[in-house]
Amino acid sequence: MNDHPQHERFMELATYYLDSVATDEQFEELSAMMHADEALRETFVRMSLQTRLVRHLISPRLLLDTAREQAEGARMDDAVEPTSSWRWRLTAAATVAMAAAVAIALTWWIMVPLNTRSGTEAPVATRTHLASVIDAAFAQWNVPLTVDADGQLVTDRLDLKSGSATIMFLDGAQVTLYGPASFKLTSTNSGHLYSGQLIASVPQSAHGFEVSAPGGKVVDLGTEFGLIVDDLHATEVHVFDGVVEAEIHDGQGQVLQRRRLTRGQTARLELGSQQIMATRQLPRFYASHVPIDEVMYSNMVLTDQPKMYWPLVRIGGQSPLVNLADGGRAINADARLREQIEAAMQGLMYFDGASSLGMPGTGSWGMIQPNNFTIETWIWPGAMSEPGHIVLAEPGNGRAGWSLMYDPMGSTSEGGHIVFNALGIDRYVFDQAVVSRDRWTHVAVVFDEQNKIQLYVDGQLVQSLASSGPIHPADNQYVKIGGRAAGERWVGRLAHMAYYPQALSADRIARHASPGETQ
């Protein structure tokens, strides 16, 4: 297309549409232009794919900066080719909304004949792609994926050996697989999970998204949900938000029972069963949600009287940074994490290796005592290649206090070791347990009155080490979550961090690690 003024108008209308500010008249004009010109349709597709990459590569700060520009009324001045600099100046609203918007546009333009609107024949387009890969940095495949230059999947079968991978269906649904898993794309708005685990985030544009599995099917009604297909070919459904409709099928695929599940509900579909069974055991693999009932877990933690308890997640609208155990005092977030919280970009804060949380100033926070204390948190390690601090408490001189660390044993390892530092005394590596980087893990370290340090992983005692002596105490205490000024930063997610001024029993730790199970 060589008509520059018309191209400028197209870019302007496309931007309005992707910013969700287009009027009905502007949408109709954009529709007519795209119907009339195949090159514009291809341009729009490329814009969408570039946007997906930007969405996952640029920092939270850039997203917030562009959001602020939008709030101040800033608009793009130039409309040039989609591969030029205009692309990097899209507003944050467009970046976040574009994938869903493109799914609507692509599906409509490719699928709907022109004569349904204008009474004239439209050229028939052949669609060969159902979804695109938007993140597979740590995925290992049994069979390598085949994708085109734009990241569109050429094959419809995904056999994930380990790690995780996220795909975006053309209709807008986003699915993250956690290995080992086997999944097949069946349409632009459906798939089949043969084995393994996934989480699906479904925008309104993809309402009705379906995932079938052995023995049944889950139909989205506007929600976020997770599935597990275990070794017995039973399917577990967990609803994070919204509503799904679960179906159990007989051997011929006939529906035996349907049940609507809402936020926080979990059900099990078993081959040969006549009914959908409710279950309280929650799966432990979802990156965007800790596998617990947040309210139930918080109440359980507070019952054990922690000195400090930071959820690091939103519970009932509460700030993630409020210390629920100490009258609502908050921990400070640096700029990157503060932007994540303000923009509500993630269900959980992601520590990117350049961000951290810190107690405001120094003071007697009660987190450095000689012994008889417990540190507890949920962790999902990220792309770490060097050891990083999960949390530390010290007076600032490195000669007193303690820190809890994670050593990834290299960037290509499947997991790492938990490390406890008794500052000024010794460093204790729990080398008998490998903590995975592919899922949520509950970690608790107990320093008892006999100066014995015990590591619990997912509620089980895995290793005990003898300390050379008690922790060196300090009145003025500097508390940091996610790193220290000198480096050694945590990369990944953290949630529900608590410090108890007592050694929790093995039974209490087991309950915290499995709050939905009957004890």
Tens digits of residue pLDDT in 121-177: 443 334 468 999 887 766 789 988 888 877 788 888 999 987 778 899 988 899 988
Q: pLDDT digit string (tens) for 101-121?
A: 444 444 444 334 433 444 444
442 in Cβ contact with 516 (< 8 Å): no
Amino acid 18: pLDDT: 60
423 in Cβ contact with 389 (< 8 Å): no
Mean pLDDT value of segment 226-247: 87
User: Could you tell me how many helices (H) and strands (E) the chain has, helices first?
Assistant: 8, 26
Instruction: Indicate the pLDDT class of residue 459, thresholds 50, 70 and 90.
Output: very high
Model confidence at 43: pLDDT above 50: yes
Pairwise pLDDT comparison (74 vs 258), residue with the higher score: 258
Instruction: Indicate the pLDDT class of residue 183, thresholds 50, 70 and 90.
Output: very high
136 in Cβ contact with 154 (< 8 Å): no
Integer angstrom CA distances of residue 30 from 13, 45, 99, 105: 6, 14, 18, 11
Mean pLDDT value of segment 306-318: 78
Closest by CA to 40, choosing from 1, 2, 73, is: 1
Model confidence at 60: pLDDT above 60: no
Of the chain, the percentage scoring pLDDT greater than 90 comes to: 26
Q: Which of 34-38, 45-49, 211-215 has the lowest mean pLDDT?
A: 45-49
What residues contact 149, with CB distance under 8 A and at least 6 apart?
none
Mean pLDDT value of segment 473-483: 81
* Average pLDDT score over the chain: 75
Pairwise pLDDT comparison (35 vs 205), residue with the higher score: 205
Model confidence at 67: pLDDT above 80: no
Q: Rounded CA gap, 6 and 14, in Å?
A: 12
What is the b/e burial string over 338-351, where b = at least 16 CB atoms within 10 angstroms of the residue's CB?
A: bbbbeeebebbbbb
Antiparallel, parallel or unpaired: β 426-436 and 415-422: antiparallel
Pairwise pLDDT comparison (225 vs 18), residue with the higher score: 225
Instruction: Indicate the pLDDT class of residue 517, thresholds 50, 70 and 90.
Output: low
Amino acid 289: pLDDT: 65
Model confidence at 77: pLDDT above 90: no
Pairwise pLDDT comparison (422 vs 36), residue with the higher score: 422
Of 235-249, 258-272, 499-513, highest mean pLDDT? 499-513
Residues β-bridged to residue 211: 191, 218
